[in-house]
Structure 1
């Protein structure tokens, strides 16, 4: 075993221990460079990744956001990841997500090759798979038990403030994402104030849907802020809710933008789950992709 492999195993065990203990983990971008490199990333691709966010499409329900998404299969038995067919996306109040579009089946433009083919993105999938594999967590109701396969929905999101828009990374207030593990990584940021987009982690006793300014400090598990590219937060979504403050402009005559790559990961839906009809495990024939974990 090489020295790099030994260091990778030691580092991942340390990260897994922190994640298991706190049920969330924040990894600064400077540390993520090393982590992603050991999982096969060429971090010089960061500029290409950032450029891809200029090709996002109009969001189906939020005027201040641009977006794309894609569904991926994490197969621990075959130790591979692959792109699944594009489907609608549904998140409901039953899953601790209360917003005007809760329960609506939203159709997002698909993630393209300029994102999914980058080694830095594939390394992020490998990292998350290694972080969560075998971790004992509170299961999300309505999902298939004992699965060696996980569905991971990737969102490329740009939140915008300016020109009469106020960007809300989480207009739904305190919420969960209806999955089992949520990963959020900052791709790029422009013209934000220092108090913009602060993430608060809440114990589940906090009330779903209340504004982040009205939370009970007794139920705050921590606060972090993505400020540098590759800053990464991972949350056990069944055990910690979260909320975010608004995106605010530092210079009023320029747009403020916050670009994020988000990976929602859970077991496949069982019959009776509200998203069962939108949870196919068939491969994507328009944007095929497969790579080893």
Structure 2
């Protein structure tokens, strides 16, 4: 990619982030030290007190130039994201934590934050982001693989161990790691809202249940689904299959190329 093409892609990425922020009714910016208390409050509200980085860690990450981002609504923080550089398997930004206040969720704030992270990475010559998510949370699967165009690279059973936080409780912390290739055709098509491919594959996993609700109301059923899905994902990925999300927002395990011709 030429310097001119990179500059054009970066400028387009900032325009997309600005448009997403406008649609969500927020202002996005990199955090400064005065924002840290508000960001910590958002993390404590989401995961529980003491379940995120402490103030000194956030200040150090911010000072070193990592992406500590805040979304402001009516002058107050309503969303935040934290990412830091990694180089295992190539230089990338690991997007570690992101949250939005409950009354602004599903209104595009998280999407705007991700696009802002993307633009900042491209500005610095970083063309890949990675993060992890619970594969059984349907809205996250659709958001990551369809709306953003990320692709699953790894299945990580019980990655964090027992978290005992306000979201996961005592459930096992199975995670997919995804790769977001920021300058790829797959990502640009996803951000343009193009229809994703019709993935081929006979192995599937229905995501037609609110797993978070199931975990709260029927823990035994949640454990069974966790166990069954872990076996399916482990065996499928060992066989060279990759999970994608179909038009019904269910998983299909496919050998299709992640970037179709």
Calculate the TM-score normalised by the size of structure 1. Answer: 0.26
Greater percentage in strand: 1
Q: Which has the higher contact order (CA 8 A, sep 6+)?
A: 1
* TM-score, normalised via structure 2 length: 0.28
